[in-house]
Each structure stands twice: as C-alpha cells, then as structure tokens.
Structure 1
Amino acid sequence: MTPEEIQTFFTGKDGSYAFARWGRPIVPVVFGVEEETLEVVKGAVEAVVALAGHKMAETDPELGANLMVFFFQGWDELLGVPNLEKMVPDLEPLVGRLKGVGASQYRAFRFDEDGAIQACFVFVCMSGEMAQQPAETIALTQAVQAVLLWGEGAFSTKSPLAVLPETGQVILRPDVAGIIAASYDPVMPAAAEDASHALRLFARMQVNPVVNTLSEDETKH
C-alpha cells in the first residue's frame, strides 16, 4: 500500500482526515441475537482486538460496556430501546434518515478528552441482503469497522473481507489487517486530524508487517 491509499481510509467526504483508535480496553455487549450468534460476535471482536494488540475487559468503569452491538429487523425498533436516546443524541431523526436511505448498518462513536474512542454503538439492520450473510461474515466485518474510526467511504465499495479463491475461505484483507495493527503501535497517537498521520502508518507497516490475517474460522470459540 502507498501512503496515499492509506490516507483514503480515514478521509471523509469533505476531504478532511480523521483517525481515532480505542484509548481503553473494549467491553462488548450484544443485543438481539441468540446465544450461538452472541459467541460468534464476541469471538470476532476478540480476534480483531488481538490482531490490534489492544485489550478487552470485563467491565468499563464509566459505562459498564463500551461497545454495544444491536441487531434488529427494522430501524424503528431502536426507538423502543430504553435509554438509548440518552447514549445516541437525536436518535429519532437519525433513525428517520437511516430508513430514508435504506441503510443496513450504522456506527456512532464517542470520544474521550484526548480524541481516542471511548464508546461505540453499532446498529445492524438484519433485512434484505444483510439477512442473507453468514453470521461470521457480519461479525468480523462489524468488529473491524468498530476497532478504528474509519472514513465514511473506507468500505463503501469494497468489503474489509476477501475470499481466498483456492479454498473459498473468507479472511480479513491483509491491507486492512496491516492498517489495524499499525494503528495500535504504541508509538502512534490515539487520534489524528493531519493527513501526515497516514505517512506514519505507512512507516509502521513497513517495520512490522502483518504476516497472517484473520479468517472467519479464527473468530469462533
């Protein structure tokens, strides 16, 4: 990858650069799925966190859980979740916008005083094409997109996952895995708004290349 290619992963539609990683251990909680799928989702989060070299915990001292993943059949269901509007401002108009554009997923982030990710709320609408995907694919995709603050168009045209033609196995794309690992290098900042940050990510990826990447099978308990 070139520095310019890395930069596109964190560039918004307005051309601004925005990067953030988690500044605290990740504590996931999953709503709207059966026990079997719950383990798949948590396994995917654990695998991506391990790839990043970050940490997980049993509880967050401020929030209890700080990575909340909601699965549902229709966006209106979110309006009935107790106290969700306190955690996600302007929830009702947000739901209206997401319904209007036919969105299948959405992530809302909260940040600490240093700009690092403090919490992430992941919403997955299990209808249409999304409902046809294997649970492992959805889980790994969502875990990847929650571990960093990616640009709006980072995966709009190309999934963070890839299929090995030899076996048909679904894996995390090596370039995406490399970016995640480099982003959590201790020498890198927790947040950045200058595009020169992409040059630093590029340098870390050369120093510590990711040899192996994640497959769906590795996310299972």
Structure 2
Amino acid sequence: MPFLNLEDTPMFRMKVAELDGGCKRLRERVTLLVGHYRRYRDALVALCKAQIEFAADQISAEWLDDLLVGARDSHRAYERSSADLEDAATRALALKKGAKRELLDRAAAELATARLVEQEARFDCARRLSAVESRRRYSFLQLLLDTAGAHHAALRSGSEMLGRLTPLGDAARGQVADARAAEAEVQAMLAQEAARCKAIGDAAAAAAASSSLAGDESGHGPVQMSGLK
C-alpha cells in the first residue's frame, strides 16, 4: 500500500512527491508508447495500401497494358488491312482487259500481299479477342483466390506464432487479475483510512466547539494560552 495513513505529515508529503515524480516519468513512457503504437498503425496502413496497389498493378499490367490494349490494336490492324485489301481488289478490278502485263502482275501481287496481311490481322484479332473472352472467365477469380490464399497463409502463420505465446499470455492474465485485485484492496483501505481521518477531524472539531460553548456559558472566555506563566 503506498500510504500507511492519510494524516498530513512530512512522510505523507514525501510520499506524495515521490508518487508524483513517478507519474511524470510514466507520462513520458506512455507518450513514447503511444508514438510507437501510431507508427505500428501507420505501418499496417502502408502494408494494406501496398497490397491493394500490388493487386491493382497486377490487374493493370495484365489487362490494361496487355490483353485489352492488344485486342484493341489487333482490331484496328484488322480494319486497316481489310480496307487495304478492298482497295487492292478495287484497283485490280479496275484494270481493263487490254492493260499491260506488267500492270496486271503488279496488281495481282499487291492483291495477294494485301490478302495475306488481312488474313494474318484477322487471325491475330480473333486470337486476341478470344483470349480476352476466355481470360475474363477465370483471371479475376484466380486473383481473388491468390489474394485470399496469401492472406490466409499470413494469418495462419500469425495465429501459430501467437499460439506459442499462449502460456505467457495465461501467466500475464493472472498477473493482471492479481494486480486488479490489489488495486481494489488498496482503494478500499484508502477509503477506510480517509473515513478514519475524517472521523478524527470531526471529533476534534466537535470537542473544540463544545469547549468553546462551555466557556461562553460559564462567563469565561476561552483560556488564553499566552496569559499562562
């Protein structure tokens, strides 16, 4: 018990000063602890943000930077090659029967080349669009499963680590319970001591008041200590 009694004595004042100094030191340590807790919180927030950004970067790299861009570009290439093929066919058909052999051969070569380019573009467009259509059926679900699996592994590892601390936790909980009980006991004893000191003070005040009243009734005032020799 910090205080043996609550009477205003030099020892009581010394104990008060000692405990007040302890409170100041504790305040400094608690302030430091709060700072560490806040840094821990910020680290958790940064970790969650990094995980979200990682997932976002993965989606962006796979879809926005690869699949969808490739499908768009292949479609545009297919449309251009189709237009070029139509132009080549139109030029070839526009040649008259009496045109020079050189012009006919050139037009035929251009048409064959345009047809080959158009076929390659058409096949590539079909391949990329089919890839997007197929990938979208499982890619996002796979990402969700991978993310959930990573979180589960991390949580399981943390749970196993904390499980190894269970005996220490049980012992610490016992210490906390004992300390709480001791605190309640100290507060009860302080309340009793405060009541005792108050009763003593009230009794002394009542005795002084009674003595003063008795002196007034006898016609004599209270005895002046300075007049005694």
- On whether the aligned pair clears a TM of 0.5, the verdict is no
Judging by fraction of residues, say which structure has more strand: 1
Tell me the TM-score normalized by structure 1: 0.18
Judging by fraction of residues, say which structure has more helix: 2
Bigger RCO (CA 8 Å, 6+ sep): 1
